Structure 1
Amino acid sequence: MAEDRKPSGTGRALKWALALSLALNLLIVGFAAGAAWRFAGKEGEHRRWGPDRGISGAPFVRALPRDARRALGRAMHDDLGGLPPRGARHALYGQMVAALRAEPFDEGAVADILRTQADTAQALQGAAQQAWLRIVSEMSAVERAEVADRLEEGLRRHRERGLQRP
Structure 2
Amino acid sequence: MVLEIGQLAPDFLLPASNGKTVSLSDFRGKYVVLYFYPKDMTPGCTTEACDFRDYHGQFNRLEAVILGISTDPVERHKKFIEKYELPFLLLADEQHEVAGKYGVWKLKRSFGKEYMGIERSTFVIDKSGILIKEWRNVKVKGHVEEALGYINNLSGSR
Q: What range describes the TM-score normalised by the shorter chain of this pair?
A: under 0.3
TM-score, normalization by structure 2 = 0.20
Q: Which has more radius of gyration? A: 1
TM-score, normalization by structure 1 = 0.19
